[in-house]
Each structure stands twice: as structure tokens, then as C-alpha cells.
Amino acid sequence: MKGAIRGNPELTRKINQRLVLNLVKKYGPISRAELSTKSGLSAPTVSSIVEQLVSERFIAEVGLGSSQGGRRPVLLTLDDQYHCLLGVNITPMKVSVALTNLNFDILARHESKIDVKISKDQLIHLIHQEIQVLFEQSSVPKKRILGIGVSSPGQINQAEGKVNVSHSLPNWKNAPVVSLLEERWGIPASLEHNVKAMALRELWYGAGSLERNFIIMKIGYGIGAGIVINGQIFRGATGNSGELGHTKIQEHGPVCRCGSTGCYESLADLHSLETRMKDRNPDFDGNYEDVFRLYEEGDDRAKDAIADTATYLARGIVNLIHLFNLPLILIGGEIVPYWNHMAPYVLKILDRNTLNTLRESVKVQPIHTEEDAEVQGAAAVVFDKEFRLSV
């Protein structure tokens, strides 16, 4: 992770601070001497940066390491006792809020169910209410909160901090969520698309935390992708990269919720799985979970529906592998608990349809689901602002 630069002294110091912070996160407990070796920064520079980061409560001294012939070195880790991240996760079903420390441990959480037809004003009111509950539960003072991260579906204007439009929450449009939160709570806020927030969680905490180049696919009702290159989200010109679900894979295919036809998600998401099951069994009245349950019970029609859906799902993954040649594709979203049913079909097609050198160098694996993963993703939006190497 060498990256020390020279130039504008203030910027240089900021970047070097981030470098040290990242090394402490990655390798801690770690000594000042090891930080100097790994960063390429001089010992006095490291000492000065460490002193500042300790005083700002970003890192903490946690004891002594083993002696390399002289005095035993003081070891450093992230300080998880002071700064907090406040995550707000919005889905068509619920609003969840959580307070975490810098290790993403949940200190307090709360959530409320919503109806997809909820008005914009009601939703904003509810978000404020949930945050209020969180403060009452946790008694963490506001000054210890680094920021509020909001993870939302829809098309996001990140520069203006607002949600432009969301297919899944029809009244959630032109919502200036960042300015409303900052005015009400006096805490810096930032907004991120929910799939990109998931990617940030994986980057800083989850399965991708050892990997700085990966794509995460969120597969549920709809399919989105978060693209991480060199430890940063790839956003595209307007911040709307990763609309994988609306890439075209079939002429005259089914009508998609975006209004177009033959979109990837209309052929490969969990809704399409349900449709295929109904085509095979007109009496079927369940959802995708029921399809997987029937599969577990040995139902051949469920098996066919899953295998067919996997064929289309694999097509998109094959394209991603060829396009990006990244070492890791993570599978997230509602499919995760059932991925082991889908994976054998998908992987077989990947093996058959991907160029050897590309196939051999990529792992396709599900993320570890934890109850709080999505709201941790919202918290990771704040974490990323404080820790990412580009400032």
C-alpha cells in the first residue's frame, strides 16, 4: 500500500494520514516501525501522524509487541471506542437505522416497516423519527458521530444529495435527503445507491475487505451491480453505473419495469424465477422462497425453473467476467440464502462459456449474510468518506 506523495503539504499530509489509517485497519495491531516500512514514510512522519490520529481518537495504543532487539514496540489498532457511524437503510419494505463503531459493530439499531406507497414527506418524517429513537437508545453524543450515511434504492444525484427517482418506491423522488438530515441533526450526511453501499460494506468489512477490485451483484427483485476498482466505487458520468439489470440480453424479451424489453433482470431475477414456476405449474401461488423450498423437496418443475433462470443469470456474469477481468464477483441480495441451489447451474455455464484464463482467475461467491448487513452498508458510506485513499 505504498503511496506517499509530495506536493501541496496539506494535501500530502491528509493523504499520508489516510495511508497510515488504512495500514492500521488492515494490519493492526501494528507498530510505528512496521507502519514506516509498509508506507514508505519516514519514522518521524509516521510518529507525527500517529500522534495526531491517536489524539483524534481514530487509532489507539493497545499494548506492547515483541522486542526486535530493543525496547518492545507499542502496538496500534483502530480506536473502536469513540467515533460512531450512523447508517440509514431504505428499502421498499422498511427503514432501518443503526449506530456502529469503526469496526462496524452495531451499538444500537431500530427499524420500522413501510408501505411502498409511502409519501416522500412521511418517509422523511419516519427517518427523523428513527434517528431520534436511536439517540434515545444509545446515549451517544452527536459530536462522536462522524456522519450519517443513507443507502437508498433508485437513481441518486450524489452531488446534490438527493434521490431523483425510484422504481421500487414510487413516491420517493426529488427527495433532498442529505440537506434535510444535515439541517435537522447538524451532522454531515451522505447518500449512496443501495448496491454501491453494499459494495462499500464489502470493501471495508466483508468478503471483499482483502480485495480492492471486485463487483458485487445484488440479485433479488431486480439486479444491480456495484463496481469497485482500486478500492473505489466506479460511478460513471452521472453516478449511475452498475445498472446491470437493464442491459439487454434478448430481442423481443419480456417487458421490464423500466419500460424496455429483454432486460437482464426481467429474465434473470427472482421475479422471473416465480414467473417460470407459474408457467410450469399454473396452481403455484407462492414466491421465490417457495420455489426453492419445492426444489429442496425434489419438485422437478421447481428444478427446471431454477435451472432456466440460472441460464440467464449466468449470461450476465459471463459478460461481467469478460468485460472487467476482476478477481472476485460477489453475490448479494435476497438470493444469498438460496445461492447454493442456483450456484451449480450457474457455475457450470460459467465454466463452459468463459475464456479459460478469465475463468481461472475469478471467484464467484456469495457474501456472508448477517442480519444487519444492509444498514452496515449505509454506515460504510460514512466510513468510506473518512478512510478512502483518494481525498
**Residues in the site for Zn ion, rule: CB under 5 A?**
246, 256, 258, 260, 263
Residue 321, CA distances (Å) to 77, 83, 176, 215, 307 in order: 36, 38, 36, 10, 21
**Shortest Å distance, C-beta 291 to Zn ion:** 22
Query: Would you state the cell numbers that stand for residue 67, as one nine-digit string?
Result: 522486542
Q: Cell 488492515 maps to which residue? A: 26
Give the span between the Cα atoms of 383 and 100, in whole angstroms.
10
Would you give the DSSP letter of residue 243? -
- Of 38 and 315, which has the nearer Cβ to Zn ion? 315
Percent composition of the chain: helix, strand, coil (DSSP 3-state, to 5)? 45, 20, 35
**Shortest Å distance, C-beta 306 to Zn ion:** 22
Q: In sequence order, what are the residues at sequence separation of 6 or more whose Cβ sits closer than 8 angstroms to the Cβ of residue 261?
A: 250, 252, 253, 254, 255
Q: In sequence order, what are the residues at sequence separation of 6 or more whose Cβ sits closer than 8 angstroms to the Cβ of residue 371?
A: none
- Of 201 and 246, which has the nearer Cβ to Zn ion? 246
**By the 8 A CB rule, do 227 and 215 touch?**
yes
- Of 42 and 260, which has the nearer Cβ to Zn ion? 260
Q: Cell 439486479 maps to which residue? A: 223
- Of 103 and 260, which has the nearer Cβ to Zn ion? 260
**Shortest Å distance, C-beta 92 to Zn ion:** 17
Query: Would you state the cell numbers that stand for residue 260, as one nine-digit string?
Result: 424496455
**Shortest Å distance, C-beta 312 to Zn ion:** 14
**Shortest Å distance, C-beta 331 to Zn ion:** 20
Q: Cell 460477489 maps to which residue? A: 330
**Shortest Å distance, C-beta 222 to Zn ion:** 9
- Of 9 and 259, which has the nearer Cβ to Zn ion? 259
**By the 8 A CB rule, do 230 and 346 touch?**
no
- DSSP lists the bridge partners of residue 282 as none
- Of 264 and 295, which has the nearer Cβ to Zn ion? 264
**By the 8 A CB rule, do 195 and 378 touch?**
no
**By the 8 A CB rule, do 367 and 216 touch?**
yes
- Of 98 and 223, which has the nearer Cβ to Zn ion? 223
**Shortest Å distance, C-beta 255 to Zn ion:** 9
- Of 76 and 223, which has the nearer Cβ to Zn ion? 223
**Shortest Å distance, C-beta 246 to Zn ion:** 4
